[in-house]
């Protein structure tokens, strides 16, 4: 069964934000730090919805690589049914997380469209595709050579995303009184405010991070 992040109520979301902002930063790999620094150079250090959209476009990529590699593994291992079933469970996990990231992306896209802000097509359409393509190749290669490396890179990325979302909410106190109205409420959920919806996304990123950390630990102690 695919595991999806739990939905939290207002109090739990506020507590989750406090935990994230009070926790030390994860010690990230050089590759992850280079990616975050590169994004700051291209998109600026300011937290904007457009920059988060780019983050979400890239966030889906590792799950796609894991899913694809796992399907190929099933092709090779289907005669060992227990192993094939375990691999398929990983596929369901990767798909669940990928779908969750997709909803983050669509919600952001919707909000950006409503804001009427103009986005450069080069910076916010073509360039993110190129970054996602490069990240796909890198993530795929790490996963094929040593899955733990790919999971570690993803944990770095998710840790960054979790912190960025929680800081974004802290920077927008006006969101506490703004309702979350979206065509994706039925898919993603109802929240007391826009602030809570973004806190929930931040908590989803923490869940994704923890899933990757669990995979690292399982691989280490197998
Ligand atoms: Fe996300
Ligand atoms: Fe995520």
Q: For 78-102, what is each residue's pLDDT tens digit?
A: 888 888 999 998 899 889 999 999 9
pLDDT band with cut points at 50, 70 and 90 for residue 219: confident
pLDDT of residue 28: 94
Quote the pTM value: 0.94
Evaluate if residue 147 carries a pLDDT over 70.
Answer: yes
* 117 neighbors 185 (Cβ within 8 angstroms): no
pLDDT of residue 2: 58
Question: 55 C-alpha to center of ligand 2: Å?
Answer: 9
Short-list 145, 119, 96, CA closest to 49 = 119
Evaluate if residue 222 carries a pLDDT over 80.
Answer: no
Residue-wise pLDDT for 50-72, tens only, equals 999 999 999 999 999 999 999 99
Question: 205 C-alpha to center of ligand 2: Å?
Answer: 4
Short-list 202, 177, 216, CA closest to 107 = 202
Question: 77 C-alpha to center of ligand 1: Å?
Answer: 32
Question: 203 C-alpha to center of ligand 2: Å?
Answer: 9
Evaluate if residue 1 carries a pLDDT over 60.
Answer: no
Residue-wise pLDDT for 96-130, tens only, equals 999 999 999 999 999 999 999 899 999 999 999 99
Question: 116 C-alpha to center of ligand 1: Å?
Answer: 22
Tell me if the domain spanning 10-220 has CATH number 3.30.70.920: no
Short-list 75, 216, 73, CA closest to 146 = 216
Count of C-beta atoms within a 10 Å radius of residue 106: 17
């Amino acid at each position: 069964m695919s595991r999806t992040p739990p939905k939290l109520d207002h109090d739990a979301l506020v507590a989750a934000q406090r935990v994230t902002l009070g926790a030390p930063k994860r010690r990230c790999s050089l590759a992850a730090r280079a990616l975050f620094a590169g994004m700051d150079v291209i998109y600026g250090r300011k937290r904007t919805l457009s920059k988060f959209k780019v983050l979400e476009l890239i966030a889906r990529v590792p799950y796609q690589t894991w899913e694809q590699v796992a399907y190929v593994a099933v092709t090779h291992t289907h005669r060992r049914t227990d192993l094939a079933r375990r691999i398929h469970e990983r596929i369901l996990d990767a798909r669940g997380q990928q779908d969750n990231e997709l909803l983050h992306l669509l919600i952001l896209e919707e909000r950006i469209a409503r804001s009427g802000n103009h986005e450069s097509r080069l910076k916010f359409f073509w360039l993110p595709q190129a970054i996602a393509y490069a990240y796909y190749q890198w993530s795929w290669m790490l996963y094929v050579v040593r899955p733990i490396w790919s999971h570690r890179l993803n944990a770095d990325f998710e840790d960054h995303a979790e912190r960025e979302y929680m800081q974004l909410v802290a920077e927008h106190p006006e969101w506490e009184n703004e309702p979350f109205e979206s065509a994706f409420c039925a898919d993603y959920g109802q929240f007391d405010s826009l602030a809570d919806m973004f806190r929930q996304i931040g908590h989803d990123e923490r869940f994704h991070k923890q899933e990757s950390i669990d995979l690292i630990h399982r691989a280490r102690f197998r």
